[in-house]
Amino acid sequence: MKQKLCFIFLFLLPFNFVFPSENSVSLLDGLFESLPFGKPFLSEIHSTMIKVESGYSKSYKEFNLEEEAKSFDRPVVEVHLGIEIPLYALRFGEDRNGTPKWGFKITIPLSIHVLEDMFDPITAPVINTDYRFGSPRLGLLYNFEGDGFFKNISFNWLPLFHECTHLGDEITIYRMDQNLPITRINVSYEYTELQITLNDPDKLQDNVHSFRFGALYRISDRGLGWFSVRQDSEITQDVVIPPSKYRFEFYFEYQFQRTEGFLASERAVNVFSFELRDRVRYGYPIYKLENGAWVGKDVKESMMWTFNLYFGWKFYSKSKENALGLFIHLYNGINPYGQLRNYPGYPFFGISLTYDF
């Protein structure tokens, strides 16, 4: 008799989730729902945020075909298009006040980042394009009880993500016509990424100090590590490129939002966001044209710091579901675009428009 009752219970248990009673919680309720925690900080250089930025950067012979390198002499446009497609989200585990203590979500991140130069007389506007997509991202949030400094802690894990970058056609053709020793580097790799966040903003209507530590690890090997080069078509001279030895990339982010105080409110949120990232500079040579001949400069693969800063305001709609942001953006470090990544000391200073939904 007991065995029969156990069998009936196990048989009916799944139907409790599909056809829940009034007091039960169905796991199917979370399908295609979203939760606001785990979103990228403003200063994350490659994220799923929507940004349109205009400002000044540095000219390089490689993508500006007529000018030597200078600081802040070139107006450029950067476009960041991204989305986190919601697959599943759920809040559960109420505390003493009836507020859910836990949050869990699954999303699919997709993003495209484009560098444009509208004013060069030779090149087309699109200089470099980066694409990123992969497996679902898993997020878990735990809310602390009380009104202490630490509000919550969250974890985001991206098991598998792919990045590939593409150079503007005019630049590739120019390199081939000029018999550049390396005409193209095929930057393409897969990695896994983990983020830990203290005080995730999570739509908190408060003054909040947020901290995030992240690390990514390259799990693929394209023969040279982060990239590959076709010997038959992308190398015109006898060039030896050593394979990559570095697989990790680390970053620390700090973000402060103000919803109270001078020039701040719940609908006009003042935000300061800063990222410090240790990135890999690839170990392939760069070239400069001298007296009609290409002169190479060896580059040793190394880790280099980058600095990214945003300061400005987010203006929320009346429903607080959408927000338009206006920020000052300052960057310095390795060029953040894949095909131009071997150039250090890349600066950018400009205005950024963002959109959250």
Q: Are strands 302-316 and 268-281 parallel, antiparallel or unpaired?
A: antiparallel
H or E element in which residue 12 lies: helix 2-18
- Separation CA 206–CA 351 (nearest Å): 26
Q: Is residue 15 included in any domain, yes or no?
A: no
pLDDT at 341 exceeding the cut of 50 = yes
What's the number of CA atoms in the CB half-sphere (13 Å) around residue 107? 25
Q: Is residue 262 included in any domain, yes or no?
A: yes
H or E element in which residue 18 lies: helix 2-18
Tokens representing 260 are 């109270």
Cβ count near 158 (within 10 Å): 21
Please tell me which residue, 145 or 102, carries the higher pLDDT value: 102
Tokens representing 121 are 């007389």
Q: Tens digits of per-residue pLDDT, 79-101? A: 999 999 999 999 999 887 778 99
Q: Tens digits of per-residue pLDDT, 13-44? A: 444 444 444 445 567 889 999 999 999 999 99
Residue 241 near residue 284 (C-beta atoms within 8 A) = yes
- Separation CA 77–CA 92 (nearest Å): 43
Quick one: which of 1, 15, 68, 44 has its CA closest to 306? 44
Q: Tens digits of per-residue pLDDT, 121-180? A: 777 788 899 999 999 999 999 999 888 899 999 999 999 999 999 988 888 888 888 888
State the pLDDT at residue 11: 42
Q: What is the CATH number of the domain that holds 298?
A: 2.40.160.40
| % of the chain with per-residue pLDDT over 90 | 59
Q: Once rounded to an integer, what is the mean pLDDT over residues 176-195?
A: 92
State the pLDDT at residue 140: 97
- Give the dihedral sign, CA 34/36/39/42: positive
- Give the dihedral sign, CA 40/41/47/51: positive
Start-to-end Cα distance in the chain? 55
The count of structural domains within the chain is: 1
Q: Is residue 205 included in any domain, yes or no?
A: yes
By the 10 Å C-beta count (0-12 exposed, 13-18 middle, 19+ buried), 97 is classed as: exposed
Residue 171 near residue 127 (C-beta atoms within 8 A) = yes
Residue 53 near residue 351 (C-beta atoms within 8 A) = yes
What's the number of CA atoms in the CB half-sphere (13 Å) around residue 73? 10
State the pLDDT at residue 13: 44
Q: Is residue 231 included in any domain, yes or no?
A: yes
Model confidence, pTM: 0.89
Q: Is residue 338 included in any domain, yes or no?
A: yes
Q: Is residue 8 included in any domain, yes or no?
A: no
Structural domain boundaries enclosing 58: 27-356
Cβ count near 183 (within 10 Å): 21
DSSP, residue by residue, 203-227: T--S-EEEEEEEEEEE----SSSSE
Q: Is residue 10 included in any domain, yes or no?
A: no
Q: Is residue 295 included in any domain, yes or no?
A: yes
Please tell me which residue, 319 or 163, carries the higher pLDDT value: 163
